[in-house]
Structure 1
Amino acid sequence: MAPARHRATRVAILIIVALTLSAGLAPAGPAVAAPSARQNAVTDDPEGGTPALRAELEAASKGYLDAKRALTESVQRQQQLAAQLKTTKAEHAERTKLVEQIADQTYRTGPLRTASVLLDNTSSADFLDRVTGLEGVVANENRALQELQETQEQIVQDTRAVEAEIIEQRKQEALMAKRKEQAENALTVANEKARAAAAAAAAANTSTTQSSAQAAPAPRNPDGSWPAETCSVNDPTPANGCITPRTLHALNEAKAAGFTRYVSCFRSGSSGEHPKGRACDFAAQPDGFGGDATGGDRTYGNNLAAFLVDNADELAVLYVIWYRQIWLPSSGWQSYSGAAGDPSSDHTNHVHLSVY
């Protein structure tokens, strides 16, 4: 069903529910397909913060993950080049020894040996044999010298390549630090008033009472980067609409790990990753989005947030928001408060996940 048709259907259902409530009657029973009021509450403020802040965090996290992958590749290339340089130096040592042996032999026999060898013969056939033999000796000497020169040139090239990779590594490390600072500065500006109180509760808010399961990794490109994806697969949650294949993978991995309470992913007409199909909201309560999660519901949210963070590399996590905190791949947990100050925008009733 097209998104426009879904929106029209939801509007019609909400009108029916509103008319029913205004008449003092109970809402329709199970035959009505609309989610409950608690389930709809999160749509008031999709992700908290501001659109500008979310755009800044998305750019910072993407840049950090890209630089982290480039750094890993640079370190691997350095290791390969270092091994190659070691092999080349070993070959250079062997060829240097061979050339030294040839030079020593020439010194001991003297420069007149060639003429004497050619003149000291008894027949033309013997002369030709000796000429052929000398040509072979000269060719071997020339080849040894050429190979020595080639290994010397290869050492220079390998050394320069290693130096270039060291520069590349420092460049990526600097970029990662810059992206980390970018994200943290954006959060500092947005949460200056709430930082002190929220930071003190960070450990308690994100603690877990169980070990996180291991998620299966989402598919990557051969170079380790994340393939570009669009909102191209059906959203299996009550939100309908579409999500990206990587979002679906993260959703399925969370369910496989036991997090099977109410989830809503696609949402049109809002900012952030929801309309792009790259985000899901996981309710802490079993039946939808309500007030602040407490007791077992809060523990459920803690465990879910921990699972997503522990499997951030496998699931291509851009950020996780839970209980006035946001986790970024560059900076870990930081304070994060919604503009409206309600359970939805403060994320005290659901865990928000955004993927690359």
Structure 2
Amino acid sequence: MSSPAYAEDEVHKLEKKLEKAAEAYKDAKKDLKDAEKKQKKLKKDIKDGEKKVEELTDEINDFAQAAYLSGGLPTATAILTSGSPQEAVRSLSTMSFLGEDAADELEDFLAAAEELEADKDALDDEIEKAKKAVKKKKKAQDSLKDQIDEINGGPSNGSGGAAGQGPGGGGSCSETDPTGTGGCVTPTLLHAYNEAQDAGYTRYTKCFRNQDSGEHGKGRACDFAASEGGFGSDATGGDQTYGDNLAGWFVNNADALGVYYVIWDNQIWMEGTGWGNYSSGHTGNPSQDHTDHVHLSVNL
């Protein structure tokens, strides 16, 4: 077993690495977001390109019809039955009959089609690379968090499976608090509460708290009792395990649930730093120390 001084030194080193890993993860997510924005623009470009292709197709048909009416049957037939504009544009007889302007139109058709395919391929590759980078950076960050959690003793596991993706974006205290306080919660917090319920964490919970200038008063926080009997005494045995699992589940699903921070058993977890000492705890009061409940705060 390592000495406290050694453990503190190891945590310090890991936290330095974690800061860099968190920054790399943040950059990777930004790159993915930028790629997805580019995807949106490329989809518009592709749609415009397809419209251009349709217009050029109509012009080709017009050229073929004109050729037929003027007696150029072999050339018209070649255009209409060539199977593809690429084959038609490479036909010397077609280009000779239609003239330079018509040949340019056909060349534009070919270029537009090829550019369209290139855009699609580039888009797919860029999005795939960005997703892989996010996954890799997230894995590196989680690994460092787990190492810190192991040294600090914070819960890093949690049963209940993966949570569904939250609504994201901003949100006011617009939803009715499902815990019966008569107050409100944000859409993000309501989603987190419902997902926790679905994961099996159904013990006594309270969210909105009037006359609270903090997260509870803004509808962005809930307190989840560790004991089936509610708040009031330090969790032990199965109640301690329930609290460990719930806190770990919130951490494991932080991205999907929009977690801002989690407080449990004199420790606090925040994005980018992992579990650490809760400086406002260690008072002997179960409520203040969060030894009788898990506190969840969401970003919005």
Give the match for residue 68 of structure 1. Answer: 29
Note the C-alpha offset of 1:312: 3.1
Q: 60, 84, 103: which one pairs with 1:141?
A: 103
Q: What secondary structure sits across from 2:261 in the alignment?
A: strand
- In structure 2, relative to structure 1, the CA distance for the partners of 1:69 and 1:212 (3 Å cut) is farther
- 1:209-228 alignment to 2 at 5 Å? 211-218=159-166, 220=167, 226-228=168-170
CA distance in 1, matches of 2:27, 2:195: 23
Tell whether the 8 Å contact from 2:269 to 2:275 is kept in structure 1 after alignment.
yes
Give the AA of the match of 1:280.
C
Aligned residues between the structures: 226
CA distance in 1, matches of 2:219, 2:26: 20
Q: What secondary structure sits across from 1:341 in the alignment?
A: coil
Note the C-alpha offset of 1:283: 1.5
Give the match for residue 68 of structure 2. Answer: none
Q: What secondary structure sits across from 2:289 in the alignment?
A: coil
For structure 1, the 5+ residue unaligned runs are 1-60, 106-132, 181-195, 221-225
Q: 217, 220, 229: which one pairs with 1:275?
A: 217
In the superposition, the TM-score normalised over structure 1's length comes to 0.47
**Is residue 2:299 matched to residue 1:351?**
no
CA distance in 2, matches of 1:271, 1:248: 19
- 1:276-315 alignment to 2 at 5 Å? 276-315=218-257
Give the AA of the match of 1:212.
G
In the superposition, the TM-score normalised over structure 2's length comes to 0.54
Give the match for residue 24 of structure 1. Answer: none
Tell whether the 8 Å contact from 1:65 to 1:329 is kept in structure 2 after alignment.
no
CA distance in 2, matches of 1:236, 1:66: 36
Give the AA of the match of 1:304.
L
- In structure 2, relative to structure 1, the CA distance for the partners of 1:242 and 1:80 (3 Å cut) is closer
Calculate the aligned-residue CA RMSD, in Å.
5.0
CA distance in 2, matches of 1:150, 1:258: 55
**Is residue 2:272 matched to residue 1:324?**
no
Give the match for residue 335 of structure 1. Answer: 276
CA deviations over 1:254-294 (Å, ceiling 9, x no partner)? 22332222212112333432111011011112223334322
CA distance in 2, matches of 1:228, 1:271: 19
Note the C-alpha offset of 1:201: 3.6
For structure 2, the 5+ residue unaligned runs are 1-21, 54-83, 142-147
**Is residue 2:196 matched to residue 1:235?**
no
- 1:116-265 alignment to 2 at 5 Å? 135-147=97-109, 154=115, 200-203=151-154, 205-208=155-158, 211-218=159-166, 220=167, 226-237=168-179, 239-265=181-207
Note the C-alpha offset of 1:243: 1.5
CA distance in 1, matches of 2:42, 2:156: 42
Note the C-alpha offset of 1:247: 1.8
CA distance in 2, matches of 1:338, 1:349: 17
Q: What secondary structure sits across from 2:223 in the alignment?
A: strand
Q: Larger C-alpha radius of gyration, 1 or 2?
A: 1
With 262-271 and 139-148 compared, the bigger mean Cα shift is at: 139-148
Matched residues, percent identical?
A: 41
Note the C-alpha offset of 1:148: 5.8
Give the AA of the match of 2:277.
Y
Give the match for residue 55 of structure 1. Answer: none
Q: What secondary structure sits across from 1:344 in the alignment?
A: helix
Tell whether the 8 Å contact from 1:81 to 1:158 is kept in structure 2 after alignment.
yes
- In structure 2, relative to structure 1, the CA distance for the partners of 1:97 and 1:351 (3 Å cut) is same
Q: What secondary structure sits across from 2:287 in the alignment?
A: coil
Give the AA of the match of 1:68.
K
Note the C-alpha offset of 1:306: 2.6
